[in-house]
Structure 1
Amino acid sequence: MSRTFGALVLFEARRQLRNPILLVLAAVTLAARTVASWRLMPNWSLATVDTATALLILGAGAMLAANLATLRDSRGAFAELLAPLPSRPKARTLAVLVAATGVSMLVAVVVIGLHFVSLTVGSVPVGRFDVTELLTGVAMVALFTAAGVALARWVPVLIAAPLAALVLTWAMFQFPGSWLLPVVPDLKIVIDAARPPLWHLLYVAGLFLAIAAAALLRHGPRPGFVVAAGTALAVLGGALTLHSPEAASPSATADRTAPRGLVTEGADHCLAHNGIRYCSFPSYAAWIPLWQQAIEPVVAAAPPSVRARAPEIVQRVTIGRLGAPSAIMPPVTWGRNGGEVESRRSLAAQMAGVLTGFQSRVGLLESMDGCDARDRSRTVVALWLTGQVEKAVAPQRVRARPDSDMGAIDYGETELRYASLLLADPEAKQRIWANWEVLVDPSTTLGKALPLLGLRQAEPIEAPRGTPCR
């Protein structure tokens, strides 16, 4: 019997390894996560949760594949064909359960491994790597697989598993903060968010054991003890999870609709370098050198007398109160694999804007619609300063409002062309330093500044279209 059962498990495992539903959805899971994260530096605290959540796609595929494999017994005359075989229905159910669960967990581990290899390419990771999150994701895939087998035995219709997968997916995103989900996708806060303790993994394991035993219960009462044991484990794990110190922490009970503190609250890991103060959230300290590479070439290109104007660099989250803007505030994201160009350019442009007087208080807008910096010499100087790090680009339009790397400040191709000419001129810095106060004066037009910059007007200069920047 054991040899027959082993052969049956191997047979089902081979079928599962070739199952197109499982393999296609595994590829979709891997591709979706890799594409979404390829141009962003990894934060392990977020990447582990997001990857475990993405395994929901693979879990749905594992449920469908296991369900179809178990339903073979009930297809047409297939039961009659199986009757002469030495294996009984209970053994076949257990074989599918063992094989499908093992294969789906193996595929989940491979997907996780390949994805995290991709996260190391060109990256400076931050955050805390919590392997428990990933183990919970693998356990969720096993749970979905067992559910597929149980549904096939208790509700032997093709539509049952797809409906169950849809309901489970809906529940995951309808109640994302519930710690009784197999995987908890919600992070109430970005920085140092409380996450379910190790007891949560016991809870998911108990659910798996109970559902797997329930599939075998269809063939007789003997697995009833296992169902009870699994249910008890799930109840124990769930209770310990909900009453853990982590569940009672402020970051776990936070209300997304409640007022937040300052966006920079908690960014207290600070250091000074070349006269500029950098402050990050403690888990993001590894990115400070990346900020330095974007900020310090801009400051070095300005006259020494101006460098004292450089504000401090303080990291911010997305949600919260801005307060009185007095610092350049990089976000909790940074690019990689080409995406770092945009991150570097944005930070450099913000510093260039401050040094040339566009933002006496960082982030303060001239109006709700922004302002227009065409036909002003300081615009060209700011774009030239930005170009010390990355070539400046034209502003985008967001609902008729300008959106440039310097903020809600508009300018045109003329200013970009003159900035490019200055970047190609080795004597440009000397001329800019010699005439700095005139060039950054808001009243100095581009026509007046061109001779001071050693440039000649080769085309008409476009007048401001909106409210001029002051």
Structure 2
Amino acid sequence: MNHALIPLAAAETRIALRSPLLCLLTLLTATGRTLATWHEMPNWSVATVDTATSTLLVGAAVMLAANLATLRDRRADAVELTGPLPVRPQTRTLAVLLAYPPVAMVYAAIAMGVQLAGMLVGSRPIGHFDTRELLSGVLLVGLMAVLGTAVGRWAPNLFAAPVGILLFFWTLMQFPQSWLLPVVPYLKLAIEPVRPPAWHLVYVTALILVAGTAALLRHSRPLGLVLASVGSAAAVAVATVMTLHSPAAAAAARVGDLRKTTRSVTAGADHCETYDTTRYCAFPSYAGWIPLWRGSVEPVVAAVPTAFRRRLPDVTQRAETGTFDPAVTDRSVLTTTSWGRNGAGQDSRRALAAQMAAAATGFPWGTRHGAGPAGCDASGQARTVVALWLIGQTEEPLPATSTRMSVRTDGGDLSDREVPTSDLGAVRYGQAELAYARRLMARSEARERIRANWSALTDPATTVDQALPLLRLDRTAASRTPEGTPCD
């Protein structure tokens, strides 16, 4: 048996390397995730977990491929042809186990390597890079290859492996926080990155041994194999206990589910740094992005007269879900847990700069909505020009647009309305204000003129026509009549 095993395993390895399904899904995993993350700045605390989870596609491919390799014995007349051969079914099963898991693990490592290399392009990574998370993705693929082989022996049916894959994905969706899964897509705590230690890798390795011995036990049960299966099961039990009772797992349990809406969106944003007059508060693992926020906000703050800068809000990071604490949101502009790169950074910089510009000129900002959810119109107001000019200190301001959406009226009914969407939030303005702001951006003396007349220019009652002499601009365009509720 040993003499036949080596060439048989080598043949199975060559077949596995050329598997169209495995090659295709590896390519899709690498390219799909690279494209999906190309415009997002990586946080390793999250990215390593997501990268490991992405190998599920490679695992599904190898589970099917290993299952089909095992089912060769069940094809038409295969039993009659292979029965008289000296190579027994157990040897053929062992050959598949020696070939498909290592090949798939190499493919998974390549797919993850391509993803990680793509995340380094034009980025400023933050967070904790944990190789154990990546190893869990590699072991996951190995486990699914072994499971495909075991299913092929114990349930020799073409439908068994696809059903097993569906159950595998269903389990991940239903119990995303369970450390009894081979890969845990959640808790991927970007805010408080707490994950159990290497015991989980021991647990997954033991699962591979259990599934492998189960596949070999289908046809014969020698004492050594039985003892190996018992030892593997014991290793699973020990690793399970050590994982669930490790200090890191206990800390993760205390953190709780960050998706709960009772949690404040800014809870945990307690790493604060103050530069000049602006305070920046981030979740600890995001502190490395504070320089990016400063690069967006400081040009706006520097353009505001010194006497007015201390009235400007802080910059505070927020989670995607939760409740808004007025004690924080009333004195802070909010930034999220994402930041653009490779061309998308301009949108992130513009969005943060626009909030500060809105706050400086008296417009609603952050979670505030002037004139309710339907927004307001700032056409013809001098402060609109100033706000757009302030945004232009960081990025080129954009024209205002509108989106049709359902908003709740004062009576509580839903009504379809055109809601303005602009750099200033739910604030509508026209081409005239934008044109004047762009003319100011091209003039070196604009900053001096705006600072000298700041109070008048940011007064909602001051019109664009009244501001033109103060800004030393000629009247080249007329502001349109405000639509809907004027901003006050």
Equivalent position to 1:365, from 369, 377, 385: 369
The 5 Å alignment of 1:77-96 reads: 77-82=77-82, 86-96=86-96
**SS state at 2:13 partner:** helix
Q: Is the Cα–Cα contact under 8 Å of residues 62 and 145 in structure 1 kept in the other structure?
A: yes
Q: Which amino acid aligns with 2:458?
A: V
Whole-Å Cα distance in 2 between the matches of residues 227 and 182 of structure 1? 19
Residue 17 of structure 1 deviates from its aligned partner by 1.0
Stretch moving more, 382-391 or 265-274: 265-274
Whole-Å Cα distance in 1 between the matches of residues 46 and 39 of structure 2? 15
Q: Which residue of 1 aligns with 2:179?
A: 179
Q: Which amino acid aligns with 1:37?
A: T
Residue deviations 1:231-252 (CA, integer Å, cap 9, x gap): 2222222222223333333655
The 5 Å alignment of 1:30-69 reads: 30-69=30-69
Q: Which amino acid aligns with 1:282?
A: P
Q: Which residue of 2 aligns with 1:214?
A: 214
Q: Which residue of 2 aligns with 1:343?
A: 348
Residue 143 of structure 1 deviates from its aligned partner by 0.8
**SS state at 2:397 partner:** coil
Q: Which amino acid aligns with 2:177?
A: G
Q: Which residue of 2 aligns with 1:277?
A: 279
Residue deviations 1:274-303 (CA, integer Å, cap 9, x gap): 332222222222111111111111122223
Equivalent position to 2:422, from 384, 396, 404: 404
Q: Is 1:352 paired with 2:370?
A: no
Residue 210 of structure 1 deviates from its aligned partner by 0.8
Q: Which amino acid aligns with 1:22?
A: L
Whole-Å Cα distance in 1 between the matches of residues 348 and 442 of structure 2? 23
Q: Which amino acid aligns with 1:274?
A: D
Q: Is the Cα–Cα contact under 8 Å of residues 377 and 446 in structure 1 kept in the other structure?
A: yes
Whole-Å Cα distance in 2 between the matches of residues 455 and 414 of structure 1? 12
Q: Is 1:439 paired with 2:457?
A: yes
Residue deviations 1:279-332 (CA, integer Å, cap 9, x gap): 222222211111111111112222333323232222222233322220122222
Q: Is 1:381 paired with 2:386?
A: yes
Whole-Å Cα distance in 2 between the matches of residues 250 and 2 of structure 1? 47
| TM-aligned CA distance change 1:155 to 1:362, over 3 Å | closer
Whole-Å Cα distance in 2 between the matches of residues 262 and 88 of structure 1? 62
Whole-Å Cα distance in 2 between the matches of residues 233 and 413 of structure 1? 69
Q: Which residue of 2 aligns with 1:320?
A: 322
**SS state at 2:288 partner:** helix
Q: Is the Cα–Cα contact under 8 Å of residues 189 and 251 in structure 1 kept in the other structure?
A: no
Residue 214 of structure 1 deviates from its aligned partner by 0.9
The 5 Å alignment of 1:183-262 reads: 183-187=183-187, 189-222=189-222, 223-249=225-251, 251=253, 254-255=256-257, 258=260, 260-262=262-264
**SS state at 1:249 partner:** helix
Whole-Å Cα distance in 2 between the matches of residues 33 and 384 of structure 1? 38
Q: Which residue of 1 aligns with 2:443?
A: 425
Residue 185 of structure 1 deviates from its aligned partner by 0.9
Q: Which amino acid aligns with 2:23?
A: L
Stretch moving more, 253-262 or 100-109: 253-262
Stretch moving more, 340-349 or 458-467: 458-467
5+ residue gaps, structure 2: 406-417
Give the percent of matched residue pairs that are identical in Structure 1 and Structure 2: 48
| TM-aligned CA distance change 1:78 to 1:261, over 3 Å | closer
Residue 433 of structure 1 deviates from its aligned partner by 2.4
Residue 357 of structure 1 deviates from its aligned partner by 1.6
Q: Which residue of 2 aligns with 1:288?
A: 290
Residue deviations 1:51-84 (CA, integer Å, cap 9, x gap): 1111111110110111111112221133444456
Whole-Å Cα distance in 2 between the matches of residues 250 and 6 of structure 1? 45
Q: Is 1:138 paired with 2:138?
A: yes
Q: Which residue of 2 aligns with 1:456?
A: 474
Q: Is the Cα–Cα contact under 8 Å of residues 187 and 252 in structure 2 kept in the other structure?
A: no
Compute the RMSD of aligned alpha carbons. Answer: 2.2
Whole-Å Cα distance in 2 between the matches of residues 404 and 249 of structure 1? 42
| TM-aligned CA distance change 1:172 to 1:362, over 3 Å | closer
> So what's the TM-score if we normalise by structure 2?
0.90
Whole-Å Cα distance in 2 between the matches of residues 228 and 298 of structure 1? 67
Stretch moving more, 92-101 or 275-284: 275-284
| TM-aligned CA distance change 1:128 to 1:250, over 3 Å | closer
Q: Which residue of 1 aligns with 2:108?
A: 108
Q: Which residue of 1 aligns with 2:410?
A: none
Whole-Å Cα distance in 2 between the matches of residues 162 and 261 of structure 1? 39
| TM-aligned CA distance change 1:410 to 1:125, over 3 Å | same
Q: Is 1:150 paired with 2:153?
A: no
Whole-Å Cα distance in 1 between the matches of residues 64 and 389 of structure 2? 58
Q: Is the Cα–Cα contact under 8 Å of residues 46 and 188 in structure 2 kept in the other structure?
A: no
**SS state at 2:133 partner:** helix
| TM-aligned CA distance change 1:253 to 1:358, over 3 Å | closer
Q: Which residue of 2 aligns with 1:263?
A: 265
Whole-Å Cα distance in 2 between the matches of residues 313 and 155 of structure 1? 58
5+ residue gaps, structure 1: none
Q: Is the Cα–Cα contact under 8 Å of residues 264 and 315 in structure 1 kept in the other structure?
A: yes
Residue deviations 1:115-139 (CA, integer Å, cap 9, x gap): 1111111111111111111111111
Whole-Å Cα distance in 1 between the matches of residues 52 and 20 of structure 2? 22
Q: Which residue of 2 aligns with 1:332?
A: 337
Q: Is the Cα–Cα contact under 8 Å of residues 260 and 319 in structure 1 kept in the other structure?
A: no
Residue 387 of structure 1 deviates from its aligned partner by 0.7
Residue 85 of structure 1 deviates from its aligned partner by 5.2
Q: Is the Cα–Cα contact under 8 Å of residues 326 and 362 in structure 1 kept in the other structure?
A: no
**SS state at 1:123 partner:** coil
Q: Is the Cα–Cα contact under 8 Å of residues 188 and 252 in structure 1 kept in the other structure?
A: no
Whole-Å Cα distance in 2 between the matches of residues 177 and 419 of structure 1? 50
Whole-Å Cα distance in 2 between the matches of residues 362 and 21 of structure 1? 48
How many equivalent residue pairs? Answer: 469
The 5 Å alignment of 1:298-317 reads: 298-317=300-319
Q: Which amino acid aligns with 2:50?
A: D
| TM-aligned CA distance change 1:396 to 1:221, over 3 Å | farther
